[in-house]
Amino acid sequence: MSPEIVFTFPTTSHVIQAEDLLLKAGLHAQVMPLPPAIQAGCGLCLRLPPPEYRDAQKLLRKHAIAPEQIYSRTIINGKSDFRFLEDEFGE
């Protein structure tokens, strides 16, 4: 599996709003259960390919849908490895 970006949100409604917005913009967002390695949010998160990360971030900011945290996810030896990227749209 290639790397992906994971956005966490404070509520399920934020996840659904973000997914709808990103899909309408032609981005490849997908809702998934929050992995046990991440302690944040509502139990759901969004994942998307790394090349779409900044476009997604800008679009969410424009529509005031702020993720709680953002991670990079890679698979190492068959296990997910999450690297914290930023929170609250920090740059």
The pTM for the full model equals 0.88
Range of the domain at 81: 4-87
Token readout for 36 is 């046990």
Share of the chain above pLDDT 70, in %: 92
Contact (CB, 8 A) for 51 and 23: no
Q: pLDDT-based confidence at 2, cuts 50/70/90?
A: confident
Residue 89, CA distances (Å) to 65, 82, 83, 85 in order:
10, 18, 16, 10
Nearest one of 13, 67, 62 to 48, comparing CA atoms? 67
Ramachandran angles phi, psi of 7, nearest 5°: -105, 130
Q: How far is CA 5 from the centre of its chain?
A: 6
pLDDT band at residue 41 using 50, 70 and 90 as cut-offs:
confident
Residue of 20, 27, 46, 19 lying closest to 35 (CA atoms)? 46
Q: Which amino acid is at 38?
A: I
Give the CATH number for residue 46. 3.30.70.1530
Domains held by the chain: number: 1
